[in-house]
Structure 1
Amino acid sequence: MNRNGRWQSWVKLGGFSTAGVLSAVLVINTLSVPVRGSTVTYQAQFSSVEGLNVGNPVTMNGIRIGRVDSIRFAPNTDGTSRADVDIEVNSDFTLTSNVTAAVRYGDMLGARYVALSDPGGAIMDVSTDEPPARLAAGGVIPLAQTSPAVDLTALLNGFKPLFDALAPEQVNTLTRGFVETFSGQAQTLTTLLTQIAAMTSSLTNNAGIFTQLIDNMSTLMRTMNTRQPQLEQMLTGLNRLSAAVTSGDRQFEMLIDQGNAVLATLANTVNNSSAAYGDTITNLNSMLQTWQPNTEEFTKLLTRLPEFGDAINRTSSYGGFVSLYLCNFTLKIRSHEANIFGYTHSEVCQ
């Protein structure tokens, strides 16, 4: 029983391993997209091949005739750089020296491919007469005859405000039109423009909002332009504040902690004395209402105070002494009264 069990386990392991290897080979063949039959290698020079990967297809008039074999970095004679792309093309076809190459979008997910085009109709069966100016195996398609990849991501990001105002199906249709147009399918340009006109027509109902927004932005920019020195000072101050906070010095943290304690104490004091503060403010309001009509009399009092002081000074000079005892000093304004020295008198006043 043990031998049979081990034998069955080995059989299961072998079957599982075989299935895994076959699946891996299938995936690799699917991703690599090999070219059937014998191939001829050519080189295409691009200023940019962003998004292009080894294994991407090479097409002519929408028909796949090869694949990208390798991509490498190379310098130009003028100090700039380029990308040299080796492509494999089925040997049943040939290219002329007039062939052009472009990196285009394969789908909306960002897949790229190399599209070949020959103005002279260069690709033909080799069994027929050889076309003139044939591009030999290993020949180079120079920079002057290639078109780099278009960064549609940056282009579509510029239309983000428009996409936010459209329905998802409208966004998909418009994006597909962008991809097809900038991938070289010129016949879709008219369709793209028609789609843009139709989709943006629904936004005309909000023309007043957009106009107001533009006006507000213009006013804001003019204000910022006139306040440029103050804006620079504010940014400089914020920069210094940020530098001080991030410098690692704990003084800022201590200041916040101490300020928090002071505010807590002040809040507690105000809370405990809220009734007294209310009475004080009420009495102060009443006093000011009484004081205001008698401003002239109060001004006269303040004017005569220096004369009163001079008289006391003359009386007490040259050895003369005057003993003044203020037994009571009360300020009374209508029904409001304030005794400065209190109601307890000294022995002299008793």
Structure 2
Amino acid sequence: MKVKGSLIKLIVFAAVTLFATSILALTIANIQFGSKATYTAVVSDATGVIPGQDVRIAGVRVGEVSDVRVAHDAGSDGANAEIDFSVLKSSVLTQGTEVTVKYRNLVGQRYLALTQGAGAPTPLADGATIPLSRTHPALDLTVLFNGFKPLFAALSPSDVNELSGLLIQTLQGEGGDVNTLLAKTASLTSTIADRDAVIGRTIDNLNAVLGTVDAHDQQLLSLIDQLQRFTSGLAADRETIGRSLSGINTLSAETADLLVSTRPLIKDDVAQLRTLTTTLNKPSNVKEFESFITGAPGRITTLTRTATYGSWFNFYLCKFDTRSPILPGVSPTYDVSSARCQS
């Protein structure tokens, strides 16, 4: 009898545990039992809405989205979307029901919120369509959160998540009230106020930078004006620059080919250059080389003047004499006293 009593207690405990676990699993999975009615909502923006997302009334899940597609009716021109969703029949929708696409979280997930509008309380038939006039797009939080950017920059990620959640819940009529939101914002702004010294130094540094820029405003304007003229000139010569780049590319390729073909000769010249410098560095050759370098400019100038006619040298005879007679008693001489022979 004692063993039988323990077995009964074990069976009862297992049954209760299994039942509680099942209830918990159904709650976590949002599984709903009961017959459902299907409806279609026409919306102007269904971005982020996908099958399986929640349909809620006063924040309570009463159904889910089953399909999203582009509306093909004659009046929409493909600019609207149709959302099919199911709702438990125990949650009766009426002719005044309004559908709003709302943000579920900051990740961008959406859900459909059903509210009772000003229309007639007549129940909607299963399969009815809620027109565009009674549907609303998601609340655009972009502008709102942009206004809080300076605040978010000084907060930790957990504070940002908490404040963002309060904003969404307050603006969508769920969760906390405005007082809670203001209290949280006040505590966060107090944290920022504690950093007033850092903010003050930043402002002082910005004032110094702006003061320097203001003191050199004419130079800055001149720089901007010159930069504008420079860019305008580049824009006007863009075709010429393009052709030049093409020519530079061709020149680079031909230079590379030239270097490839002349590389062995250059290598030999570099090797012989060492031999030349060694020879010139000998003491017996240094004096001769210095004398050549010293007199080279004058000789080169004279040689250049003589060779100005091209491929031949032009000489002018200024003086001629003989040291021995050509004929007996005859030693001819020739001397010109013109200006060109006086230099």
Question: 1:332 aligns to what?
Answer: none
Question: 2:88 aligns to what?
Answer: 90
Question: 1:147 aligns to what?
Answer: 136
Go from structure 1 to structure 2 and tell me whether the alpha carbon gap of 1:89 and 1:250 turns closer, same or farther (over 3 Å shift): same
Question: 2:39 aligns to what?
Answer: 42
- After TM superposition, the structure 1 stretch with the greater mean CA deviation from structure 2, 168-177 or 148-157, is 148-157
Which residues in structure 2 correspond to 1:162-201 (within 5 Å)? 162-185=151-174, 187-201=176-190
State the alpha-carbon separation in 1 of the partners of residues 229 and 123 from structure 2: 68
**8 Å contact from structure 1 (residues 35, 67) kept in 2:** no
Question: 1:72 aligns to what?
Answer: 69
Question: 1:63 aligns to what?
Answer: 60
**8 Å contact from structure 1 (residues 33, 57) kept in 2:** no
**TM-score normalized with structure 2 length:** 0.50
- After TM superposition, the structure 1 stretch with the greater mean CA deviation from structure 2, 60-69 or 182-191, is 182-191
- CA apart distance, 1:79: 5.2
Letter in 2 for 1:44: A
**8 Å contact from structure 1 (residues 33, 67) kept in 2:** no
Letter in 2 for 1:168: P
List gaps (5 residues or longer) in structure 1. Answer: 1-28, 123-130, 259-318, 326-350
State the alpha-carbon separation in 1 of the partners of residues 340 and 242 from structure 2: 68
CA deviation map 1:108-132 (0-9, x unaligned): 4332111111157x9xxxxxxxx94
State the alpha-carbon separation in 1 of the partners of residues 247 and 180 from structure 2: 65
Question: 2:97 aligns to what?
Answer: 99
Q: Is residue 138 of structure 1 aligned with residue 136 of structure 2?
A: no
State the alpha-carbon separation in 2 of the partners of residues 50 and 159 from structure 1: 24
- After TM superposition, the structure 1 stretch with the greater mean CA deviation from structure 2, 67-76 or 81-90, is 67-76
Question: 1:114 aligns to what?
Answer: 112
State the alpha-carbon separation in 1 of the partners of residues 244 and 36 from structure 2: 65
CA deviation map 1:65-110 (0-9, x unaligned): 1111111112673757111111101122211111111112223433
Question: 2:268 aligns to what?
Answer: none
State the alpha-carbon separation in 2 of the partners of residues 241 and 162 from structure 1: 49
Letter in 2 for 1:115: A
**TM-score normalized with structure 1 length:** 0.49
**8 Å contact from structure 2 (residues 49, 111) kept in 1:** yes
List gaps (5 residues or longer) in structure 2. Answer: 1-25, 256-336
Go from structure 1 to structure 2 and tell me whether the alpha carbon gap of 1:170 and 1:243 turns closer, same or farther (over 3 Å shift): farther
**8 Å contact from structure 1 (residues 32, 55) kept in 2:** no
2:170 partner SS: helix
**8 Å contact from structure 2 (residues 170, 177) kept in 1:** yes
**8 Å contact from structure 2 (residues 71, 78) kept in 1:** no
- CA apart distance, 1:220: 7.6
Report how many aligned residue pairs link the two structures. 229
CA RMSD of aligned residues (A): 4.9
Letter in 2 for 1:149: A
- CA apart distance, 1:141: 2.1
Sequence identity of aligned pairs in percent? 31
Which residues in structure 2 correspond to 1:1-350 (within 5 Å)? 35-74=32-71, 77=75, 81-119=79-117, 132-152=121-141, 156=145, 159-185=148-174, 187-204=176-193, 205=196, 206-208=198-200, 211=203, 232-233=228-229, 236=232, 249-251=245-247, 321=339
Question: 2:262 aligns to what?
Answer: none
State the alpha-carbon separation in 2 of the partners of residues 184 and 250 from structure 1: 66
**8 Å contact from structure 2 (residues 59, 174) kept in 1:** no
CA deviation map 1:269-319 (0-9, x unaligned): xxxxxxxxxxxxxxxxxxxxxxxxxxxxxxxxxxxxxxxxxxxxxxxxxx8
State the alpha-carbon separation in 2 of the partners of residues 246 and 166 from structure 1: 51
1:81 partner SS: coil
**8 Å contact from structure 1 (residues 74, 81) kept in 2:** yes
Question: 1:304 aligns to what?
Answer: none
- CA apart distance, 1:187: 4.5
State the alpha-carbon separation in 2 of the partners of residues 320 and 247 from structure 1: 58
Larger radius of gyration: 2
2:127 partner SS: coil
State the alpha-carbon separation in 1 of the partners of residues 245 and 55 from structure 2: 61
- After TM superposition, the structure 1 stretch with the greater mean CA deviation from structure 2, 209-218 or 102-111, is 209-218
CA deviation map 1:24-63 (0-9, x unaligned): xxxxx99996652221111112211221111111111121
Go from structure 1 to structure 2 and tell me whether the alpha carbon gap of 1:165 and 1:77 turns closer, same or farther (over 3 Å shift): same
